[in-house]
A and B are shown apart, each in its own frame.
Chain A
Amino acid sequence: DAKTTQPPSMDCAEGRAANLPCNHSTISGNEYVYWYRQIHSQGPQYIIHGLKNNETNEMASLIITEDRKSSTLILPHATLRDTAVYYCIVRAFTGTASKLTFGTGTRLQVTL
């Protein structure tokens, strides 16, 4: 699996957009970019995923560069409840089970 690099921590004011970067320069053509988050000590929660195109859902937007070597997760209007550790994961689907390899993630602190 391609390795990902994320900043260890970021701050964001409530109501502002939170932009979380991820570098995955060794990504290969069949590998997806996934984002999960873990709020406090809860189980990780899926946010969004993408292959080539930018993606948007009710939680966030995912912007993937044209060369696919980096991506940015955007929380358009961050709230205090978005305070969490955000994990960027790169993984190819290999058949029956997808093994998610979690790195150290980015700890996002949303403040008033």
Chain B
Amino acid sequence: DTAVSQTPKYLVTQMGNDKSIKCEQNLGHDTMYWYKQDSKKFLKIMFSYNNKELIINETVPNRFSPKSPDKAHLNLHINSLELGDSAVYFCASSQEWGQGFYEQYFGPGTRLTVT
């Protein structure tokens, strides 16, 4: 069974369009994340949600709007796509409570190409 899944795997679209990427985790985790990996392979966190509440928002343009309908899903909607949005977007989840570290499980990624 896939732990963290993302759809679509590939997304090619034109500048100015609006698109969504979906993420689902079946691990029962309460925290989900979106990361962006650009063409230089730098991997940076964008958002984190805990129990449907936004916890981390890393200075991402407001064209990006995450939505968490429930604990198992965290979708990423992008308005007015720009060339610079081309990247691989990774969803991740973890179960975090109290002190300590809990590993993050990553999805397979969605490669977004804006033309």
Contact = CB atoms under 8 A, between A and B. Distances in A.
Interface residues of B, number: 30
Nearest to A49: B101
B43 A102 contact: yes
A85 B48 CA distance: 24
B31 interface: yes
A100 interface: yes
Contacts of B43: 38, 44, 87, 102
Contact of A98 (B88, B102, B106): B102
A98 B96 contact: yes
Nearest to B54: A97
B4 interface: yes
Contacts of B42: 102, 104
Interface residues on A, range: 20 to 34
B55 A96 contact: yes
Given A96-B31, A102-B42, A46 B109 contact: no
Interface string B83-94: 000001010101
Interface string A86-106: 010001010011111110100
If over half of A's interface residues share one DSSP class (helix, strand or loop), that class is named, otherwise mixed; here it is loop
Most buried by A among B50, B106, B107, B109: B106
B109 A41 contact: yes
Nearest to A48: B103
Contacts of A101: 44-45
Contacts of B88: 41
Contact of A85 (B31, B41, B92): B41
B104 interface: yes
Contacts of A104: 41-42
Interface of B: 4, 31, 33, 41-45, 48, 50, 55-56, 58, 88, 90, 92, 94, 96, 99-109, 111
Interface of A: 32, 34, 38, 41-46, 49, 85, 87, 91, 93, 96-102, 104
